[in-house]
C-alpha cells in the first residue's frame, strides 16, 4: 500500500469505517498472526485486505461496541494466552525490556500464509 497516494488512503479509511458484516463481502486473504514467544507456534487468524501493515482481526468478545479491530503489525505483536500470562507475571518483578528480550523472538515473522 502506498501511503502517499490519496486514492489508496481514502480506500483504506473507507475499509476501516465498514462494519464486520460489510467487510465479509469484500475479498480478503486469510493469514496467521503468529505468537512472538520463543519456540511458540500458536496463532490467530487475521484478514489481509492488501493494506499492509494493517490487518483485520474481528473481536470475538466485544461485538456490541465498535472497538478497533484493525492492527498495525509493525508496531505491536501477538501473544498467545500462555505468553500473555507469563509476561503479565514477569513484568511485576522485572523491567519490561528485559522480559521482552527473554521470552520473545522479536525477529520472528509475524504474518504467515495458511497452507
Residue 13 lies in a domain: yes
Residue 1 lies in a domain: no
Residue 12 lies in a domain: yes
pLDDT higher than 90, residue 93: yes
Q: What is the pLDDT of residue 63?
A: 56
Give the range of the structural domain holding residue 73, as residue numbers without chain letter: 6-113
- Summarize pLDDT for 27-84 with one digit per residue, the tens: 999 999 999 999 999 999 999 998 888 898 877 665 555 566 888 887 777 889 999 9
Residue 103 lies in a domain: yes
- Does the predicted TM-score (pTM) go above 0.75? yes
Q: Counting beta carbons within 10 angstroms of the beta carbon of residue 23, is it exposed (0 to 12), middle (13 to 18) or buried (19 or more)?
A: middle
Q: What is the pLDDT of residue 57?
A: 87
**Least confident stretch, 10-19, 24-33, 89-98:** 10-19
Pairing of strands 70-72, 111-113: unpaired
Q: How many domains does the chain have?
A: 1
Residue 87 lies in a domain: yes
Amino acid at each position: 500500500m502506498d501511503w502517499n497516494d490519496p486514492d489508496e488512503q481514502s480506500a483504506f479509511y473507507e475499509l476501516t469505517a465498514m462494519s464486520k458484516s460489510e467487510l465479509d463481502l469484500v475479498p480478503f486473504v486469510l493469514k496467521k498472526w503468529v505468537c512472538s514467544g520463543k519456540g511458540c507456534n500458536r496463532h490467530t487468524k487475521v484478514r489481509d485486505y492488501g493494506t499492509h501493515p494493517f490487518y483485520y482481526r474481528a473481536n470475538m468478545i466485544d461485538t456490541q461496541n465498535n472497538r478497533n479491530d484493525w492492527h498495525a503489525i509493525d508496531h505491536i505483536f501477538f501473544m498467545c494466552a500462555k505468553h500473555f500470562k507469563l509476561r503479565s507475571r514477569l513484568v511485576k518483578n522485572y523491567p519490561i525490556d528485559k522480559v521482552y528480550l527473554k521470552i520473545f523472538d522479536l525477529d520472528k515473522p509475524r504474518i504467515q500464509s495458511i497452507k
